[in-house]
Amino acid sequence: MAKLKVAVLISGGGSNLQALIDLCAQDDAPAEIVRVISNVDGVYGLERAQQAGIKTMVIDHKKYDGREAFEDAIHQVLDSENIQLVCLAGFMRLLTDGFVQKWRDRLINIHPALLPSFKGLHTHERAIEAGVKFHGATVHYVRPAMDEGPIIVQAAVPVLPSDTPDELAARVLEQEHQIYPLALKLIAQRKVRVSGEKVLYNGVACLPESVINPVG
Ligand code: GAR
């Protein structure tokens, strides 16, 4: 089966990008990262991509007259590379409905919370403040509403009484690096399908490898 052609959109350090690069570096990888686009120049994620021999591009939103023009520039690059799946990995710009619909079911995101809880920013602080006992991360298909869409993989971690937001974030990030490559692999192996806004794996509702429970 031909490798799935993937683009990754970033805004920062790119540790999740690195996890995807590492997956795609495996001999039998079902996906290849063709292009990494950052909306911020000089971020470490761009260096990670270059070190892996992946073409990079900076498309700075500040240089465009409005969101549509910015997204059109991204869309053109994705289109010209025949990209089949776009992975948002710490990409910190909201996308318009138009872009999201164009890439419907071909656009995925990782969010540092157990969606649908704690959409938006500062998820770790808010989880600690809310007193939840578990927090985590979610990989999901993107829909127009922020941090919504069919859930592909989630991982939970305990929230410890002594946790600072940074400590909790580090525990969650470790799991992000597990679930993002797993989600990409499942999609690239054509094991995932969206049905009625839920994800089915080979036609069934649950797949053992899609459930990561480091809590035990
Ligand atoms: C990750 O924790 C990711 O889940 C989060 O930004 C971080 C990026 O880190 N994304 C969001 O908050 C999107 N709403 P990374 O650049 O090291 O992958």
As annotated, the active-site residues are 111
Q: Which among 15, 33, 43, 94 is the best mutation to test ligand 1's pocket, defined by most ligand atoms within 8 Å of the CB?
A: 15
- CA torsion 126-132-137-140 (nearest 10°) is -90
**Cα–ligand 1 centroid distance for 43 (angstroms):** 13
Per residue of the chain (216 residues), give pLDDT as tens: 899 999 999 999 999 999 999 999 999 999 999 999 999 999 999 999 999 999 999 999 999 999 999 999 999 999 999 999 999 999 999 999 999 999 999 999 999 999 999 999 999 999 999 999 999 999 999 999 999 999 999 999 999 999 999 999 999 999 999 999 999 999 999 999 999 999 998 877 776 665 555 444
Contact 100, 113 (CB under 8 A): no
CA distance 27 to 174: 23
89 lines ligand 1 (CB under 6 A): yes
Query: For the whole model, what pTM was predicted?
Result: 0.95
CA distance 12 to 92: 9
**Cα–ligand 1 centroid distance for 1 (angstroms):** 31
12 lines ligand 1 (CB under 6 A): yes
**What are the distances in angstroms from CA 110 to CA 24, 89, 150, 186?**
17, 6, 12, 15
**What are the distances in angstroms from CA 1 to CA 17, 180, 182?**
23, 21, 18
87 lines ligand 1 (CB under 6 A): no
**Cα–ligand 1 centroid distance for 200 (angstroms):** 25
Give the 3-state secondary structure of residue 149: coil
**Cα–ligand 1 centroid distance for 66 (angstroms):** 24
13 lines ligand 1 (CB under 6 A): yes
Domains, the chain:
1-103 (3.40.50.170), 110-216 (3.40.50.170)
Long-range CB pairs of 70-78 (<8 Å, 24+ gap) are 70/39, 71/95, 71/96, 71/98, 71/99, 74/9, 74/37, 74/99, 75/99, 75/102, 77/7, 77/35, 77/37, 78/7, 78/35, 78/103
Strands 192-195 and 198-201: antiparallel
